[in-house]
Structure 1
Amino acid sequence: MRQSGRRVSAWLSGAVGLTLGLSLLAGLPAYAAGGSWVATLPHQSVPASDAPLRDRPLEKSGQIGDGKITRVHWSFAVEGADVPLRAWLCQGSLCVPLPASSGSTTRFQGHSVADELRFRFWYPSTHGATGRVSITRGQVIVDYDA
């Protein structure tokens, strides 16, 4: 009889703990599932010019549903520049200046993950740039909430 009393007591303790744990979890806010998509920028040559060049939209990796951007990460390498290359990442009319060849931003936070992103580069001949620069190893990672 004593054994079965201990088992009942242990079972009740476990059930009370589980009930308490679930009730605490029920009070937490629900978070939407999210994801990321990655785009690779093909190697490209940017000539010295008087105005920024607009690149084609980045191709998303895989099927992307609806969602809101939380953070965007970028990276690229510049070869052959004799003056600094200027770069932006754009979505619609919002163009964010990129202060370095790699980094991340929350400036697109809340924007649709389905809308196009594109790089914009300028190798300013007005600042003494000559010839062309090469952009290599370009990549964008977009984090989003569904």
Structure 2
Amino acid sequence: MSRARRLSAGLLVAGLLLMAGPASGAGSWVGRAPGVTLGTPGRVATAEPITPPPGLRPGRITTVSWRFRVPAGLPGLDAWLCHPRRCLELPAARGRSEALRGLPAREPLTLRFRLPPGTRRGAVPFTGLQVIVNYRETQNAK
């Protein structure tokens, strides 16, 4: 390979590495919680905290994804994904958001649910509770 081609190839690789950013600067973690059952309309049920894995390096949330299963035909459910500093109202049983961007990624998250007052239904199970936290590593995130 000629010197000019080697130089061009090297510059191309360097440019791609610069665009990609540092590989160790980003990460994600997945957490699950046992299901919860709602029986009383108007009351909030809080699932067990979903905690990050031990030894997670300091970082700030970039996006969160969530999912849970609820029986079909349930009208007017209220649901939130909560960080100790802020809650995000969930518009659906599955989704992704940047609303918690910048908050510490090493904090536990909780899912909360409420049946609206006047809902006429027996016990309602919420199962398959899962979150995925994408984050960017930092030097001083707590």
Counterpart of 2:128 (choices 128, 137, 146) is 137
Q: 1:23, CA displacement in angstroms?
A: 6.8
Aligned residues: 136
Q: CA RMSD, aligned part only?
A: 2.7
- Larger Rg computed on CA atoms: 1
> TM-score, normalised on structure 2?
0.77
Counterpart of 1:101 (choices 93, 97, 108) is 93
The percentage of aligned residue pairs carrying the same residue is 28
Moved more, 11-20 or 89-98: 11-20
Which runs of structure 1 show a deviation greater than 3 angstroms over 4 or more consecutive aligned residues?
A: 18-32, 80-83
1:81-96 equivalence runs, <5 A:
82-96=74-88
Q: 1:19, CA displacement in angstroms?
A: 5.7
**Take 1:102 and 1:61, find their aligned partners in 2: how far apart are those partners?**
22
Q: Specify the alignment match of 1:71 in structure 2.
A: 63
Moved more, 96-105 or 11-20: 11-20
For the 8 Å contact 2:60–2:104, the answer to whether it is kept is yes
1:1-146 equivalence runs, <5 A:
10-18=1-9, 20-21=11-12, 24=15, 30-31=21-22, 33-61=25-53, 63-79=55-71, 82-124=74-116, 126-146=117-137
Moved more, 13-22 or 104-113: 13-22
**Take 1:12 and 1:116, find their aligned partners in 2: how far apart are those partners?**
54
Q: Secondary structure at the match of 1:56?
A: coil
> TM-score, normalised on structure 1?
0.75
Moved more, 34-43 or 128-137: 128-137
The runs of 5 or more residues in structure 1 that have no matched partner are 1-9
Q: How big is each residue's C-alpha offset from its partner over 1:76-129, in whole Å with a ceiling of 9 and x where there is no partner? A: 1112765432110011241111111101110011111011211111123x2334
